[in-house]
């Protein structure tokens, strides 16, 4: 069994405990909470913006692999770094906080690939690499831990973090990461030019602040017996074939990625030129007309209103009870590995009208150190992981799409790689990472009300627009 010699357990974080004890004399109860949570609890903060969650089941393929065997965390020994005083910088040291949900399970191809890459990196780049596992989101998550560390224990701030897109957005907007603009290495410049446009939306004018590493796409999948000359590309075509399409309509928080994607594909905006929240009337009407027709034609069944993720209906699809469904790339790839006899045909998501909606998410590298020398080391680590052959091997072993074109071209599963590339090379207008809370709720409510028949289209439009004005 491969073991990561420098990977830290999720909790408790030894360095965070030590930093909390250092400031205990003047932080009192606050330091005690940090001791317990490893800087996972931050000061109370209320924002009128809500981060968009990962698209439904965005990382379930990796999580499924991790849950299939005991997790790595219990077997990971501590490094010797705790013997150093807080703030001591080792020559050639790079500290990474890594979303624990992304870590592969024991004795999996992903673990083998990641272990090999880390070992080779330390040998060939002569770097002392320390990876700490952190919760992906929420209390004790990377964003909250960074926020707390900046306030009370800056010596614990890592050089790099690997985070989900939703966390990435919050970290950048809170200015907890450092732009790479101005000191990009040639290797990073090459990587930037090779990224799929749909997976690398700039957030700030002074960026880039980070690089996408793994990409997650949502797409249609169908059983072989329902495929004809071509996959259905519109809900009207699905209705013509007397089929239904299952996808996650319900939102965990705000608006579901699926509803937002269909609204966006119809030309709808969530911010105007000044950055203020806006719902566009014509795209909103088109969205609700599509929902109304789909409900009448039974192309969207009422059960869709109960689903927040494809994992909730995936068993029905794999058993043949659902003909057409939306799925994330990682769940699709995990199923190919675990149940290769199931014939699944991927295709772009169907549209109400116009072009197919695009739902892209994933995991990002962000540089968080302000030290120029350590920033250069961090870029070297990113470049090492994202060398095309290495990136291709690791991403395919972990069941996640790579963010680089050259990396995806080197996949052994060439058919799915070509399909994924067509999605990622499509219209580069992915969903916004944040949506104003009132707007998100209004858009979601309007879609659900029309789909369920609770409101007419004019009523739902007026209610939604009034809520945002």
Residue 328: pLDDT above 90? yes
Bridging pattern class, strands 245-246 and 324-328? parallel
Same domain? For 14 and 146 the reply is yes
pLDDT above 70 covers a percentage of the chain that reads: 77
Q: For residues 449-469, give the mean pLDDT.
A: 96
pLDDT at 82 over 90: no
Number of domains the chain contains? 2
Pick from 66-80, 96-110, 312-326: least confident = 66-80
**Residues 222 and 347 occupy one common structural domain:** yes
Same domain, 174 and 30: yes
Residues 340 and 370 in one domain: no
Question: Same domain, yes or no, for 305 and 411?
Answer: no
CATH code: domain of residue 437: 3.40.190.10
Residue 182: burial class (beta carbons within 10 Å; 0-12, 13-18, 19+) = exposed
Do residues 199 and 362 lie in contact, with contact meaning Cβ atoms separated by under 8 Å? yes
Band the pLDDT of 426: cuts 50, 70, 90.
confident
Q: What gap in Å lies between CA 104 and CA 118, rounded to an integer? A: 14
pLDDT the model gives residue 204: 55
Least confident of 43-52, 136-145, 164-173, 402-411: 43-52
Q: Cis peptide before 12, with omega less than 30 degrees from 0?
A: yes
Percent pLDDT > 90 in the chain is 57
Spatial separation of the C-alpha atoms in residues 114 and 162, rounded to whole Å: 14
Of 182, 165, 181, nearest to 173 by C-alpha is 165
Kindly report, residue by residue over 283-317, the tens digit of the pLDDT: 999 999 999 999 999 999 999 999 999 999 999 99
Q: Which pairing describes strands 128-134 and 245-246: parallel, antiparallel, or unpaired?
A: unpaired
Q: What per-residue string of b and e applies to 359-372 under the rule 16 or more CB within 10 Å gives b?
A: bbbbbbbbbbbeee
pLDDT of res. 42: 28
Asked if residue 264 belongs to a domain, the reply is yes
Q: Which residues have a Cβ under 8 Å from the Cβ of 280 and sit 6 or more positions away?
A: 267, 268, 269
Residue 63 has pLDDT above 60, yes or no: no
Cα four-point dihedral sign 3, 9, 13, 18? negative
Tokens 């004005």 belong to 469
Q: Is the pLDDT of residue 94 over 60?
A: yes
Instruction: Classify 369 in phi/psi space as left (phi over 0), alpha (psi -120 to 50) or beta.
Output: beta
Q: What SS3 class is residue 243?
A: coil
The answer to whether 145 and 41 are in contact (CB under 8 A) is no
**What pLDDT sits at residue 3?**
37
Query: How many angstroms separate the CA atoms of 414 and 420, rounded?
Result: 10
Instruction: Look at residue 221 and tell me whether its pLDDT is greater than 50.
Output: yes
Q: Say if residue 263 is in the same domain as residue 287.
A: yes
Q: Are 416 and 333 in contact (CB under 8 A)?
A: yes
pLDDT in tens, 439-453: 999 999 999 999 999
On whether residue 269 sits in a domain, the answer given is yes
Same domain membership, residue 169 and residue 283: no
Q: Do 292 and 330 have their domain in common? A: yes
Residue pair 247/257 in contact (Cβ under 8 Å)? The answer is no
Pair 105, 237 in one domain: no
pTM (predicted TM-score)? 0.80
Q: With respect to residue 258, please indicate whether it lies within any of the assigned structural domains.
A: yes
- Average pLDDT score over residue span 118-128: 88
Residue range(s) defining the domain that contains residue 59 = 7-215+363-424
Residues 336 and 451 in one domain: yes
92: left (phi over 0), alpha (psi -120 to 50) or beta: left
Of 384, 143, 270, nearest in space to 393 by CA:
384
Task: Please answer whether residues 218 and 328 qualify as being in contact, where contact means their C-beta atoms are separated by less than 8 angstroms.
Answer: yes
Take residue 96 and report the two structure tokens written for it.
């990474």
pLDDT at 39 over 70: no
**DSSP per-residue letters across 53-97:** PPSTTTTHHHHHHHHHS--SGGG----GGGGSPTT---TTEEEEE
Tell me whether residue 266 is in a domain. Answer: yes
**Is residue 52 in a domain?**
yes
Look at 70 and 355; give whichever has higher pLDDT.
355
- CB neighbour class for 123 (10 Å; exposed up to 12, middle 13-18, buried from 19): exposed
Residues with Cβ within 8 Å of 186's Cβ and at least 6 positions away in sequence, in order, are none
Q: What single string gives the DSSP state of each residue in 26-47? A: HHTHHHHHHHHHTS--------
Are 336 and 372 members of one domain? no
Other CB atoms within a 10 A radius of the CB of residue 283 amount to 18
Domain for residue 2, yes or no?
Answer: no
Q: What is the radius of gyration, based on Cα positions, of the chain? A: 23
Say if CB 173 and CB 166 are below 8 A apart: no
Q: Which range, of 60-69, 250-259, 420-429, averages the lowest pLDDT?
A: 60-69
Whether 353 is covered by a domain: the verdict is yes
Confidence band of 58 (pLDDT split at 50, 70, 90): very low
| Predicted pLDDT of residue 237 | 93
Residue 1 lies in a domain: no
The SS3 of residue 439 is helix
User: Of 254, 239, 295, whose CA–CA distance to 452 is shortest?
Assistant: 295
Same domain, 171 and 269: no
Tokens coding 2: 């491969």
Choice between 18 and 118, residue whose per-residue pLDDT is larger: 118
């Amino acid at each position: 069994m491969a073991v990561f010699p420098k990977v830290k357990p999720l909790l408790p974080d030894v360095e965070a405990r030590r930093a909390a004890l250092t400031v205990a004399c003047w932080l009192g109860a606050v330091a005690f909470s940090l001791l317990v949570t490893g800087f996972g609890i931050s000061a109370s903060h209320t924002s009128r913006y809500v981060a968009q969650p990962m698209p439904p089941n965005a990382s379930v393929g990796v999580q499924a692999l991790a849950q299939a065997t005991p997790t790595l965390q219990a077997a990971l020994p501590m490094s010797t770094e705790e013997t150093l005083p807080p703030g001591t910088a080792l020559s050639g040291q790079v500290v990474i906080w890594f979303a624990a949900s992304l870590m592969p399970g024991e004795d999996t191809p992903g673990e083998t690939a990641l272990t090999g890459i880390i070992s080779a990196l330390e040998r060939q780049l002569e770097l002392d690499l320390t990876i700490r596992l952190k919760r992906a989101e929420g209390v004790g998550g990377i964003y909250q831990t960074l926020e707390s560390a900046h306030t009370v224990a800056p010596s614990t701030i890592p050089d790099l973090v690997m985070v989900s897109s939703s966390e990435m957005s919050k970290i950048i907007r809170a200015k907890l990461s450092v732009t790479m603009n101005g000191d990009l290495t040639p290797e990073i410049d090459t990587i930037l030019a090779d990224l799929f446009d749909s997976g690398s939306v700039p957030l700030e004018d002074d960026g880039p602040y980070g690089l996408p590493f793994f990409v997650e796409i949502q797409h249609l999948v169908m059983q072989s017996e329902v495929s004809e000359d071509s996959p259905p590309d519109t809900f009207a075509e699905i209705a013509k074939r007397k089929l239904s399409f299952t996808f996650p309509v319900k939102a965990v928080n705000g608006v579901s990625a699926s509803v937002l994607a269909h609204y966006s594909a119809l030309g709808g905006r969530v911010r105007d030129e000044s950055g203020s929240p806006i719902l566009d009337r014509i795209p909103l009407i088109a969205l609700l007309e599509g929902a109304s027709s789909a409900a009448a034609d039974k192309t969207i069944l009422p059960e869709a209103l109960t689903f927040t993720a494809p994992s909730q209906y995936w068993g029905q699809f794999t058993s043949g009870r659902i003909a057409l469904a939306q799925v994330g790339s990682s769940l699709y790839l995990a199923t190919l590995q675990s149940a290769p006899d199931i014939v699944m045909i991927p295709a772009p998501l169907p549209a109400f009208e116009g072009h197919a909606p695009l739902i892209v998410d994933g995991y990002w590298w962000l540089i968080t150190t302000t030290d120029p020398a350590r920033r250069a080391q961090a870029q070297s680590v990113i470049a090492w992981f994202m060398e095309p052959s290495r990136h291709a091997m690791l991403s395919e072993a972990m069941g996640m799409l790579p963010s680089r074109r050259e990396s995806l071209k080197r996949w052994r599963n060439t058919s799915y790689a070509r399909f994924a590339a067509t999605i990622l090379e499509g219209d580069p207008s992915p969903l916004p990472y944040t949506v104003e809370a009132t707007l998100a709720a209004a858009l979601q409510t309007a879609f659900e009300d029309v789909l369920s028949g609770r409101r007419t289209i004019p009523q739902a439009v007026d209610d939604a627009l009034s809520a945002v004005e």
